[in-house]
């Protein structure tokens, strides 16, 4: 595929497409990179051995095309709260909530479903994932948990790997630029997962003006070619897309969750800390409604809230997979573009449709020749 739009992002990484595809699914990552974009694997859900297997598989499937890895690298040592027992009030609250939907929860909070993630965001866990990541020579490492620490930037540059940082405000951008990152991802509040409160349309040109020669990708609310073209019109060097791949055939999200995503509208998401301890956009469910009630306990710090919610969600998804009616508990991290996700498509078709739509939108703006 030839270059459709020449930008600083495509030139920096030798890409045909000004598109980064972020996903926890190795199949999605490999397909985006093979199509000429940059597939970026979310590494935090995996332990070092599993990450090593996934990156080996992705590199083989990409055939030399560049790919990236996204981690949650804390700016300093994490707290030890995950080692503290979960409060009984929180366990009882969640146990009662699950019971309302016919789900028994013996051992809740001690089932261990969140242990991989909490380990992955600990200081030692991050270093182990970084060792695996750099051993596979990715083109780019992205950090999505506050400012990329200087040690990450220094190590990546020593390994000749570019560093990207997800930011949600101009203050975030200035800190990242001072640290020497190579690429900024201006993530608007429309995005799925951990995100700020400023809209993509407002945030992107603000960050572009601030970044100078550092390329900026727009993120949040981008799922088709018109939205990709709009990102370029705002001055971005491309787009960083995540939610759209949840409606791909290669995505590993359970079908019970995908079916609910395909039925959802753009107003059916919520930015809530109830799942991870930090504000993250996800599909609104009875879980989120319960944590907003006046009788709900305070949301715990990130590592503890993750331990509690991941145990709960494992039980919810298991019940759904068994065919039991879990009502409106089903949820996942997704942006407001969920309203445009109406069918499952191969990842390559999603990419091709975005490219065609982008070219058509640019052509319409240029007018007749």
Share of the chain above pLDDT 70, in %: 93
Mean pLDDT of the 123-135 span: 88
Residue 91 lies in a domain: no
Residue 103 lies in a domain: no
Residue 92 lies in a domain: no
Task: For residues 222 and 344, give the distance between their C-alpha atoms in angstroms, rounded to a whole number.
Answer: 17
Mean pLDDT of the 37-42 span: 98
- C-alpha distances out from residue 174 to 64, 165, 179, 335, Å: 34, 11, 9, 25
pLDDT band at 120 (very low <50, low <70, confident <90, very high): low
pLDDT tens per residue, range 158-217? 999 999 999 999 999 999 999 999 999 999 999 999 999 999 999 999 999 999 999 999
Task: For residues 365 and 233, give the distance between their C-alpha atoms in angstroms, rounded to a whole number.
Answer: 10
Contact by Cβ (8 Å): 163, 73:
no
Residue 151 neighbours by CB under 8 Å, 6+ apart: none
**The domain containing residue 74 runs over which residues?**
8-78+121-251+345-364
Lowest mean pLDDT among 88-97, 247-256, 313-322, 348-357: 313-322
Residue 322 neighbours by CB under 8 Å, 6+ apart: none
Q: Following CA atoms 103, 106, 108, 111 in sequence, which dihedral angle do they give, to the nearest 10 degrees? A: -110
In this predicted structure, the answer to whether residue 1 has a pLDDT above a threshold of 70 is no
Q: Return the closest-CA partner of residue 66 out of 8, 139, 147, 3.
A: 139
Per DSSP, the chain holds a count of helices (H) and strands (E) of 14, 11
pLDDT at 80: 47
Domain count, the chain: 1
- Residue 270, both tokens: 């919520």
Number of residues assigned to the chain: 369
Q: Return the closest-CA partner of residue 238 out of 140, 130, 123, 97.
A: 140
3-state secondary structure of 238: strand
pLDDT tens per residue, range 242-301? 999 999 999 999 999 999 999 999 999 999 999 999 999 999 999 999 999 999 999 999
Classify residue 45 as exposed, middle or buried by CB count within 10 Å of its CB (0-12, 13-18, 19+).
middle
Residue keyed to tokens 């997800």: 166
Q: Return the closest-CA partner of residue 239 out of 222, 214, 215.
A: 222
Residue 148 lies in a domain: yes
Share of the chain above pLDDT 90, in %: 77
- Sign of the dihedral through C-alpha 165, 70, 25, 309: negative
Residue 94 lies in a domain: no
Residue 196 lies in a domain: yes
Residue 48 lies in a domain: yes
- Residue 83, both tokens: 């080692």
pLDDT at 323: 87
3-state secondary structure of 217: strand
Classify residue 140 as exposed, middle or buried by CB count within 10 Å of its CB (0-12, 13-18, 19+).
buried
pLDDT averaged over every residue in the chain:
91
Q: Return the closest-CA partner of residue 355 out of 241, 272, 253, 203.
A: 241
pLDDT band at 369 (very low <50, low <70, confident <90, very high): low
Task: For residues 221 and 337, give the distance between their C-alpha atoms in angstroms, rounded to a whole number.
Answer: 5
**Residue 67 bridge partners (DSSP):** 39
In this predicted structure, the answer to whether residue 354 has a pLDDT above a threshold of 90 is yes
Residue keyed to tokens 């890895």: 69
pLDDT band at 321 (very low <50, low <70, confident <90, very high): confident
pLDDT at 85: 83
Element containing residue 265 per DSSP (H, E): none
Task: For residues 304 and 299, give the distance between their C-alpha atoms in angstroms, rounded to a whole number.
Answer: 9
Residue 309 lies in a domain: no
Contact by Cβ (8 Å): 192, 243:
yes
Output the domain CATH number for residue 187. Answer: 3.20.20.70
Residue 165 neighbours by CB under 8 Å, 6+ apart: 142, 143, 144, 147, 148, 172, 176, 179, 181, 183, 184, 185
Element containing residue 272 per DSSP (H, E): strand 269-272
pLDDT tens per residue, range 62-113? 989 999 999 988 765 544 444 578 999 999 999 999 999 999 988 888 777 6
pLDDT band at 302 (very low <50, low <70, confident <90, very high): confident
Mean pLDDT of the 322-339 span: 91
Task: For residues 172 and 69, give the distance between their C-alpha atoms in angstroms, rounded to a whole number.
Answer: 21
């Amino acid at each position: 595929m030839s270059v459709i739009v020449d930008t600083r992002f495509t030139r920096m990484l030798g890409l045909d497409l000004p598109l980064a595809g972020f996903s926890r699914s190795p199949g999605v990552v490999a397909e985006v990179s093979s199509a000429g974009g940059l597939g970026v694997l979310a590494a935090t859900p995996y332990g070092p051995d599993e990450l090593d297997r996934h990156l080996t598989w992705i590199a083989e499937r990409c055939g030399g095309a560049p790919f990236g890895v996204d981690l949650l690298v804390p700016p300093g040592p994490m707290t030890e709260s995950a080692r503290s027992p979960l409060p009984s009030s929180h366990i009882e609250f969640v146990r009662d909530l699950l019971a309302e939907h016919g789900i028994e929860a013996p051992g809740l909070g001690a089932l261990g479903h969140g242990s991989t993630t909490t380990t992955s965001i600990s200081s030692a866990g991050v270093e182990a994932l970084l060792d695996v990541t750099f051993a596979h020579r990715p083109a780019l490492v992205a950090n999505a948990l506050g400012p990329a620490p200087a040690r990450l930037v220094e190590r990546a540059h020593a390994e000749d790997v570019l560093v990207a940082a997800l930011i949600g405000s101009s203050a975030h951008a200035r800190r990242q630029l001072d640290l020497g990152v190579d690429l900024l991802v201006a993530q608007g509040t429309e995005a799925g997962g951990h995100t700020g409160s400023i809209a993509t349309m407002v945030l992107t040109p603000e960050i572009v003006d601030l970044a100078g020669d550092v390329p900026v990708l727009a993120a949040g609310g981008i799922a088709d070619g018109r939205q990709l073209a709009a990102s370029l019109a705002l001055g971005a060097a491309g787009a960083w897309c995540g939610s759209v791949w949840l409606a791909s055939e290669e995505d590993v999200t359970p079908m019970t969750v995908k079916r609910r995503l395909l039925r959802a509208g753009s107003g059916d998401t919520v930015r809530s800390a109830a799942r991870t301890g930090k504000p993250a956009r996800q599909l609104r469910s009875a879980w989120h409604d319960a944590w907003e009630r006046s009788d709900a306990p305070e949301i715990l710090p990130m590592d503890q809230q993750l331990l509690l919610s991941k145990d709960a969600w494992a039980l919810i998804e298991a019940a759904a997979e068994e065919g039991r009616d879990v009502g409106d508990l089903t949820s996942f991290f997704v942006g407001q573009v969920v309203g445009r996700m109406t069918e499952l498509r191969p990842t390559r078709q999603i990419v091709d449709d975005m490219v065609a739509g982008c070219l058509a939108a640019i052509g319409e703006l240029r007018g007749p020749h």
